[in-house]
Amino acid sequence: MYKVLVCFFVAFLVACASNDAKLQTSENTVSLSQGGSTNPIDSAKDAIEHNQFDVAKTILQSAAEQGDVESFALLGWMYFYKIEEPEHVKQAIEWLEKAADRDHINAQVLLSQIYYTGDGVKKNLVRAAFWAERAAELGEPDSQYNIGFMYKNGQGVPVNYEKAAYWFATAGKNGQISGVVDYALMLVKGMGVAKNPSEAKRLLLSVAEGGDSWAQYNLGLAYDRGDLGVVDKQEAIKWYEKSAEQGNASAQVNLGGLYASGDGVEPNLDKAIALYKKSAEQGNVSAISNLGVLHLSGSGVKQDYDMAFKLLSYAAERGNQAALYYLATMYDEGKGVPINKSLANKLFDLSGLDKLAK
């Protein structure tokens, strides 16, 4: 997924994960109370550190009048996070774009996130992609991943798998782990790059062995489905377990499915249910659907049509095919709900699954 960065303005040592963000100043920063700094940016940072925003604003505006690019960017950050004035977001955008136009990477990164999330402004994926690509071209790894993600999914730019693969690979080479994983998946599928399962396996292993839960999950999935040229349920279980132990909801539900079916492992419905519950608690729709099916059948849990209906309806509303199918069976057979053949048939059709012959 698109990476929403925790920190921006590394050049300023700004930790800006929230509106309570603070600047981290270096040990040799001179406090204003001790006579101030000869560098206006250092003085402004010191003022911000002490919540003296009016002082910082005055210093930065003076520096901005002299064309100082860092002052543009820091004013933008201040207006966005710290200064509550009429149209402060508009002011933030204006200052950030002045800095970004002059290739200030962190301003470009922040602008991309603002436009992508619609935080304080109208969501604009075209502008988000524009600034992500500008920062990517200047070597910013998370932006390289983000623009790759946007090219892959057609967000703000036309779908272009070749560019997506290029940016994922570039981000990965610059140490961005999600770039490594997503480039490996492009290699598995042959999307925008020649299919190369062996290289995909090497890349996934390189980060999975380092403890990345998504690499572990995707490696497990590749072994589970045979995407690397061979189905190996034991390897799938191994990597699913490593990922699930770190709380990865997708790994938990897939591992639960193997325990429920006994596919490559001794069947253990209790363990499957425990994994489904952990995954469902994180909002995983497949896990919620699976629990609904179990409550419908009474497998491993008390049969409870009301609970089944609640869980399956939730998952069905979010497009889960299995949930749509089993909800259809409830209406078709009158299990916990009045028989409604018309609605059942609509749900069967929406599920895309064949109705069981009666």
Q: Is residue 255 part of a domain?
A: no
Mean pLDDT of the chain: 88
What's the pLDDT score for residue 356? 56
How large is the average pLDDT for residues 21-41?
A: 40
Q: Indicate whether 84 pLDDT > 60.
A: yes
C-alpha 214: how far from chain center: 11
For residue 78, the enclosing domain spans: 1-20+38-123
* Mean per-residue pLDDT, 165-182: 97
pLDDT tens per residue across span 323-354 = 999 999 999 999 999 999 999 999 999 999 87
pLDDT recorded at residue 295: 98
Task: Give me the pLDDT at residue 79, please.
Answer: 86
Q: What CATH number is attached to the domain comprising 97?
A: 1.25.40
Helical H segments across 226-340, by residue range = 233-245, 249-261, 269-281, 285-297, 305-317, 321-333
Distance of alpha carbon 163 from alpha carbon 170, whole angstroms: 10
The tokens for 197 are 């399962």
Q: How confident is the model at residue 201 (pLDDT cuts 50, 70, 90)?
A: very high
Residue 75 lies in a domain: yes
pLDDT tops 80 at residue 320: yes
Residue 278, in any domain of the structure: no
For a pLDDT cut of 70, what percent of the chain falls above it?
88
Q: How confident is the model at residue 9 (pLDDT cuts 50, 70, 90)?
A: very low
Cα distance between residue 68 and residue 102, in whole Å: 10
pLDDT score at 210: 95
Number of Cβ within 10 Å of residue 15's Cβ equals 16
Residue 100 lies in a domain: yes
* 339 within some domain: no
| AA identity, residue 141 | P
| Position 8 pLDDT exceeds 50 | no
For the stretch 109-132, pLDDT in tens is 999 999 999 988 999 999 999 999
pLDDT tens digits for 215-250? 999 999 999 999 999 999 999 999 999 999 999 999
Please state the rounded mean pLDDT for residues 87-94.
90
* Cα-Cα-Cα-Cα dihedral sign, residues 220, 226, 227, 229: positive
Q: What is the pLDDT of residue 4?
A: 62
More confident residue, 88 or 297: 297
| Domain count of the fold of the chain | 1
Q: Is residue 91 part of a domain?
A: yes
Higher-confidence residue: 85 or 82?
A: 82
For the chain, the residue count is: 358
Q: What is the pLDDT of residue 170?
A: 98
**Would residue 128 count as lying in a domain?**
no
| Secondary structure, 3-state, 266-283 | CCCHHHHHHHHHHHHHCC
- More confident position, 298 or 358: 298
Could you tell me if residue 89 is inside a domain? yes
